[in-house]
Amino acid sequence: MDLLKDKVILLTGGTGSFGNKFTDIVLKEHNPNAIRIFSRGEKKQLDMANRFKDDRLRFFIGDVRDKDRLHRAMNDVDIVVHAAALKQVPACEYNPIEAVRTNIDGGINVIDAAIDNGIERVIAISTDKAVHPVNLYGATKMTAEKLFIQGNSYAGKANTMFSCVRYGNVIGSRGSVIPLFLEQKKTGAITITHEEMTRFWIRLEDGVRFVTKCVNRMKGGEIFVPKIPSMKIIDLADAIAPGVKRKIIGIRPGEKIHEILITEDEAKHSREFNDSFVIEPEHPFWEEDNLAGGKQLPEGFRYTSANNEKWITKGEIKKIIKEL
């Protein structure tokens, strides 16, 4: 059963890269009753309205920091997808209080407004930066994950379910290194922080489809992690600018050589499926048979961008860049 069909969906951060692709796919493939785009930028909302020209779209000017506005926007909503965040690592480091107010306080407001409005399902978008965070952005997203999972306890008898989706870097999105490399290629030199660096990568449309699938699967309390490929940053540089001079500049503050999507501690209460892993909550509200069919992970398992079984080849990288 498609739980998005004929439903009213509120999408925070709706004018971003994820929001635009989510709207495109859900309108075409799931036939919702309405999608409410909740964001701060009226110009981006106007551009989005002109692009889609679909009367199932509604546009709400608002900020997740404003609980009253969120409460009004969620009136008669069935499903909330929370994608709003400050996510540029350097900006969050330089403006830490603003990052906390949006990524943490904003998350609390989403949780409270969802419970008060009796929303059926809420799914929050997280990141590999939330695992063993080394920068403020990752720390705020780690906190947000904890808040949304525990939101199931706060809901009580309201029957509002909260879950998270955690995945890696989105290819070609805002903040992606691909546009940077393409621009640097013109100058004749590409900057690389570390030659051994690896990253998880996921296409935007794959991320959206995984989220829509998780909305249907969720029981409330899970962190869903897709099985996605890794990429060596040096291979990405070779694919974008073969033969172009490389300049090694060293790891920036708040940056890791490899990313992690599941720690060995989380693996102890996780299940493996064909396309994903699901981290079970360690809370009394969780029922053990919620993840029937999933396999237990071996002792000491860690899901990192360095030990991944799936890798993107240089040929695949070139194809992706051409598509972008």
Average pLDDT for 158-186 = 86
Q: Spell out the residues 6+ positions from residue 139 whose beta carbon is closer than 8 angstroms to its own.
A: 133
Q: Which residue among 7, 129, 141, 232 is the active-site one? A: 129
239 in Cβ contact with 317 (< 8 Å): yes
Confirm whether 43 is a catalytic residue. no
Percent of the residues in the chain that have a pLDDT greater than 70, as a whole number: 98
Residue 161 domain flag? yes
For 21-65, write each residue's pLDDT tens digit. Answer: 999 999 999 999 999 999 999 999 999 999 999 999 999 999 999
Q: Lowest-confidence range among 18-27, 167-176, 183-192, 270-279?
A: 167-176
Residue 122 domain flag? yes
Average pLDDT for 260-268 = 97
Angle, alpha carbons 208-127-136 (nearest 5°): 145
Domain membership of residue 59 as a residue range: 8-167+203-227+263-303
Residue 91 domain flag? yes
CATH number of the domain to which 132 belongs: 3.40.50.720
Give the predicted TM-score (pTM) of the model: 0.94
Quote the number of domains for the chain.
Answer: 1
For 275-324, write each residue's pLDDT tens digit. Answer: 999 999 988 778 877 777 889 999 999 999 999 999 988 888 888 877 76
Return d(Cα 137, Cα 17) in angstroms, integer.
18
Q: Is the pLDDT of residue 172 over 70?
A: no
Q: Is the pLDDT of residue 216 over 90?
A: yes
Residue 191 domain flag? no
